[in-house]
Structure 1
Amino acid sequence: MDITQTQSWRELEALTGRMRNTHLRDLFATDPARAKRYSLELPSFLLDYSKNLVDDGVFVNLLQLAREAEVERWRDRMFSGVPINRTEGRPVLHPALRGSVAGEVSWNGEAVAAAVEAELHRLKGFVNLLHNGGLSGCTGKPVTDVVNLGVGGSHLGPQMVIEALREFRKGGVDVHFVSNVDGAQLTDVLQRLDPETTLFLVSSKTFSTLETLTNAQSALEWLQPLGAREELLRRHFVAVTASPERARAFGIEADKTFRFWDWVGGRFSVWSAIGLPVAIAVGFDGFRALLDGAAEMDRHFQQAPLEENAPVLMALLSVWYCTFMGYPAHAVLPYDQALHMLPAYLQQAEMESNGKSTTRAGEEAAYATGPLIWGQLGINGQHAFYQYLHQSPAIVPADFVGSVAPGHELEGHHEILLANMLAQSQALMNGVSREEVVAELTSRGLDQAEVAAMAPFKVHRGSRPSNTILMKKLTPHSLGALIALYEHKIFVQGVILQIYSFDQWGVELGKGLAAALQPKLESGDLREEDASTARLIEYYRQAKAGAAKAEFAG
């Protein structure tokens, strides 16, 4: 089925003109119950989606579009282990990592739920041993610091979660992250640590990621004065991978290798052994609470009717804006310092999933498939790019994320923070009309000429849409629910737009090209390269040679 040929698609295309000419103020004025009707209260948070450029007519057709796209059938297929990741021939079973897949589901002859629980049991034993001082380095000193070496999903998820849950830290072991192959990051982290008490987690799904293995080799060299390679790998290295045989070939022993599976996409892997840094930072019970919060959202996604289903509603709004209304970007604006990495995490999760132009039928998509995701902490953004959100000709829908209870005990701060969040969403919605600007300037005593000259610059058109997610409190449980909310939103978007959300061939392309170009930085054999790349490599080689010559002469 071509989704663009459905009745609901054509109806939605016809509705865009009317909604572009409708102001959010008017939608609220004509429907006093709008805020209540267009909101959902879930166990962990309130989702207010009333400040969106939609009415009942739009929603009826969006929901019908979801049904015509067979969102419910695709959802059930995912949870039942059908290999919906067709281009890689795999199921999509990250919900199984939090216990949301039935026990009879299996893949490659292995019972999925049982395998997940067995690995969680191993993780729990390792974390408890580490927290109790039972893990030591080559010299017998207990481990005090853990460095996670990974990139992409193997670092961004765990780091975001740990930053978000700093209030819940347990144990005396500090966790650090190195993702960049730029040696400056690894150098900066290592210079603050003691080799005798440092443990490295090498986190890589394939255990072939060049950046991660390069950092692991440099870490091994940093430890070298402590002993032989085999002993260093045995006492100072742990692997997290879906390719345990490659970890073993590297030299990391089986009892220090934690497994996840090829049916887990990297950007959805924080629930797996990739989340080991999280379990170390907040304790295994805290990690379990994170999984339980996500499982709660899984149940909501599976059981709630489409019109009361938070991930479905958020996905429909995203499709409405990006695909139909032509708004190509979406801002994520957390008003909670602990969530400062959430925009980057969601940027990877959504853009790596739905940044595609080929439909499931193998044809070029005739429509926009996913927005550019960007953002940062709300308070900082107010003094940076909110000017663009308020008065640019471009309209950028936004998600505001905050919490009722603060993660600190300082008086007065949280009320100021929340007041700013609510004020910004209100200002984006209402704007300031020319009449209001004229009245305000006139009340200040300006004459008519001054008012006429100044008024155009102070007009804010408003009618800028947004969602607000107000959590009761940021905890491991509520954070798990929040992340799973966005995961399922991304899934629904992909289903409606008829693309495969769980492959990442664009990422693989760059990896392959980099591997081919790396030796040419030394060899200079540029016969097959385009003129620009050849010129850049030549410049690099000449500048490097010149620097080396100058250093030798000095």
Structure 2
Amino acid sequence: MPTPKTIDTAGLRLEFTRHGEQALATALKTLAALPNKAQDLVSKTVLNGSENRPAWHVLSRLGAKGLDAPSQAAADFLQAEFTRMADWVDQRVEEAGAEGLDIIHLGAGGSETPMLALHTALSVLQTPRCRVHWVANLDGATIDAALAAAKPERSWIIINSKSFRTQEVMRNADIALRWLGDGIGTDKARQRLVALTANAELALQRFGLPANQIFRSLPEIGGRFSLWSAHGMVLLLAFGRETVTQLHAGAHDMDQHFLSTPLESSAPGLMAGLSHAYRVRFGLPLLSIGLYGDAFSRMPLYLQQLLMESLGKSTSADGMQPVHVSGPAVISGVGTPVQHTYFQLLHQAAVPVFHEIVAVAHPWHRHLREHMALLANALGQADALWNGKDASSWQTELMAQGMSPEAAARAAHHRACPGGRPSTFIWMERLSAYHLGALLALYEHRTVVEGWLYGINPFDQWGVELGKTLATKIENALLSQNAQGLSPETAASLDYLRTHSN
């Protein structure tokens, strides 16, 4: 089967024209041999082996259907919960009237980064109908600033945590609840808490929340894939049911493409296959993702989390074998400013980097000439990366400008760009909720397939969990001033803190 050079689906066009034939052939061969199937994502098949669970994030899209009774039951539950949540949101917004709502959104990782990325992008198109104050960090200044910008009498606190054990979220929830209680009274403050979680029992235990203040996801949906479930409530609050339904529609259409197309011919499959080829066959360690337009300003952190938390593994999916090559390190930024940060590395570093570029064909503002210039920059970078400009061409050009042959030869080597840096160009027809939904689903599917190609589990993150466990132990040592049981390196750091932290 010939490798497609362009793929059009769900309002996106992917151009694979800036890849070499060897890379494309390698991608095609590995994808054709992959035993995993896209349909596994909408069935009871256990895909997250380390936690013995299916992976059901696709079933949280509106209109999704399962292939068997357990997966269909999950789809029914998730979509019913979405309707309940949307009805609840509509009622709260109506009650708030012209003054609107202050939403204190407490999340971390996958309970914050994709929602913030989409909130930023959609805010370019539609004025949010409530004020969202984002808090993810344990830095106390962050929550102080969020609470200072909100008014207690019109505030709701959203506790967004799949496990309801995330340290940052629970600590910030305690601070926010005290603040709200000081402003409107303790009993009323507890009526202004909402939990978004797969652990309703713990939400009830910790805060005494009744069922109508808890909106549930499922343990089978990983945090970084969870924005389509109850965890995405903040988007309903900010933009309403119609916009979020369009977001789901774009993702659902990308799902249908993915589920109905052979992996070697699908957009997510080919992206994954190429990334895998560059890592395994060509040994390239770094992927760059450039997104053109400030609407994407919060997207890089989300894409970095999605890809590196999913693909940063060194053990096979069954836990039995070491894996010597897995996903790339990911750098990402927004064009054109990102061109002035790390793009020098892309063009002239000794080790090549592979690249993905996202751009929007139709402007979302009235400045057509500037939009054309933005797109020209995106295309210019892609062409420069792929075609380059050798020293001989530079020397001829510099001599034509009057430089001596010796000086031109020296200068030419500094200016030479070798080219051969591959890139996939991803066009969105326009900036809209629908196209954003399709883009995020594209990256979700691409990430999953790439994990399958490496033979790893893209749905767990045990490295992150270890760091959290050690942080709790170290905090206890800090408070007790007893470093017993800590590593020598950390004990030495605590000695420093004892004399400098007050």
Shorter-chain TM-score bucket reads: over 0.9
TM-score by length of 2: 0.95
The two structures, once aligned, show a CA RMSD in angstroms of: 1.9
Q: RCO higher in 1 or 2 (8 Å CA, sep ≥ 6)?
A: 2
* Offset from partner CA, 1:129-153 (integer Å, 9 cap, x none): 1221x259xxxx9652112101001
1:499 counterpart = 2:462:
no
* Offset from partner CA, 1:70-115 (integer Å, 9 cap, x none): 133xx222221212211101110100001323274316xx811221
* Offset from partner CA, 1:342-368 (integer Å, 9 cap, x none): 221111011111110001242443531
TM-score by length of 1: 0.87
Q: Identify if the C-alpha distance between structure 1 residues 357 and 524 changes in structure 2 by more than 3 Å, giving closer, same or farther.
A: same
Question: Is the partner of 1:165 in helix, strand or coil?
Answer: helix
Alignment of 1:58-69 (within 5 A): 58-69=23-34
* Offset from partner CA, 1:376-420 (integer Å, 9 cap, x none): 112111111111111111211111101011221234210110111
2: CA distance, partners of 1:388 / 1:170: 37
Alignment of 1:135-534 (within 5 A): 143-169=100-126, 172-234=129-191, 236-249=192-205, 250-534=207-491
In structure 2, the partner of 1:50 is: 17
2: CA distance, partners of 1:542 / 1:456: 53
In structure 1, the partner of 2:66 is: 102
Amino acid at match of 1:339: F
Question: Is the partner of 2:240 in helix, strand or coil?
Answer: helix
Offset of 1:210 from its aligned partner? 1.4
Amino acid at match of 1:129: Q
The 8 Å contact of residues 354 and 422 in structure 2, kept in 1 or not, is answered as yes
Q: Identify if the C-alpha distance between structure 1 residues 225 and 361 changes in structure 2 by more than 3 Å, giving closer, same or farther.
A: closer
2: CA distance, partners of 1:539 / 1:307: 55
2: CA distance, partners of 1:395 / 1:61: 18
Question: Is the partner of 1:367 in helix, strand or coil?
Answer: coil
1:71 counterpart = 2:39:
no
The 8 Å contact of residues 200 and 214 in structure 2, kept in 1 or not, is answered as yes
Moved segments of 4+, more than 6 Å: none
Q: Identify if the C-alpha distance between structure 1 residues 351 and 301 changes in structure 2 by more than 3 Å, giving closer, same or farther.
A: same
**Structure 1, 149-158 or 363-372: larger mean CA deviation:** 363-372
* Offset from partner CA, 1:50-71 (integer Å, 9 cap, x none): 111334xx53443232232213
The 8 Å contact of residues 275 and 450 in structure 2, kept in 1 or not, is answered as yes
Amino acid at match of 1:317: L
1:115 counterpart = 2:63:
no
The 8 Å contact of residues 10 and 254 in structure 2, kept in 1 or not, is answered as no
In structure 2, the partner of 1:93 is: 56
1: CA distance, partners of 2:412 / 2:173: 60
1:81 counterpart = 2:48:
no
Offset of 1:471 from its aligned partner? 0.7
* Offset from partner CA, 1:199-258 (integer Å, 9 cap, x none): 110001111111101101111121232344232111x21110111121122132221111
The 8 Å contact of residues 522 and 541 in structure 1, kept in 2 or not, is answered as no
- Give the fraction of aligned pairs with identical amino acids, expressed as a percent: 34
2: CA distance, partners of 1:209 / 1:307: 38
* Offset from partner CA, 1:466-510 (integer Å, 9 cap, x none): 110011001111111111111111111111111111111111101
2: CA distance, partners of 1:120 / 1:524: 47
Question: Is the partner of 2:14 in helix, strand or coil?
Answer: strand
2: CA distance, partners of 1:441 / 1:135: 66
In structure 2, the partner of 1:5 is: none
**Structure 1, 381-390 or 244-253: larger mean CA deviation:** 244-253
The 8 Å contact of residues 104 and 135 in structure 2, kept in 1 or not, is answered as yes
Amino acid at match of 2:170: L
Question: Is the partner of 1:49 in helix, strand or coil?
Answer: strand
Aligned positions, number: 499
The 8 Å contact of residues 42 and 67 in structure 2, kept in 1 or not, is answered as no
* Offset from partner CA, 1:26-50 (integer Å, 9 cap, x none): xxxxxxxx9x951112231110011
The 8 Å contact of residues 43 and 67 in structure 2, kept in 1 or not, is answered as no
Q: Identify if the C-alpha distance between structure 1 residues 53 and 422 changes in structure 2 by more than 3 Å, giving closer, same or farther.
A: same
2: CA distance, partners of 1:336 / 1:153: 23
The 8 Å contact of residues 31 and 264 in structure 2, kept in 1 or not, is answered as no
The 8 Å contact of residues 47 and 470 in structure 1, kept in 2 or not, is answered as yes
Gaps of 5+ in 2: none
2: CA distance, partners of 1:62 / 1:45: 21
Amino acid at match of 2:58: P
1: CA distance, partners of 2:31 / 2:265: 13
The 8 Å contact of residues 148 and 177 in structure 1, kept in 2 or not, is answered as yes
Amino acid at match of 1:265: G
1: CA distance, partners of 2:73 / 2:382: 47
2: CA distance, partners of 1:143 / 1:534: 49
1: CA distance, partners of 2:488 / 2:222: 36
The 8 Å contact of residues 144 and 173 in structure 1, kept in 2 or not, is answered as yes
The 8 Å contact of residues 143 and 199 in structure 1, kept in 2 or not, is answered as no
The 8 Å contact of residues 293 and 336 in structure 2, kept in 1 or not, is answered as no
Q: Identify if the C-alpha distance between structure 1 residues 38 and 79 changes in structure 2 by more than 3 Å, giving closer, same or farther.
A: same
Q: Identify if the C-alpha distance between structure 1 residues 37 and 350 changes in structure 2 by more than 3 Å, giving closer, same or farther.
A: closer
The 8 Å contact of residues 103 and 113 in structure 1, kept in 2 or not, is answered as no
2: CA distance, partners of 1:143 / 1:383: 40
In structure 2, the partner of 1:38 is: 5
2: CA distance, partners of 1:103 / 1:79: 6
Gaps of 5+ in 1: 1-33, 548-554
1: CA distance, partners of 2:175 / 2:313: 36
1: CA distance, partners of 2:281 / 2:69: 38
The 8 Å contact of residues 247 and 437 in structure 2, kept in 1 or not, is answered as yes
1: CA distance, partners of 2:54 / 2:231: 19
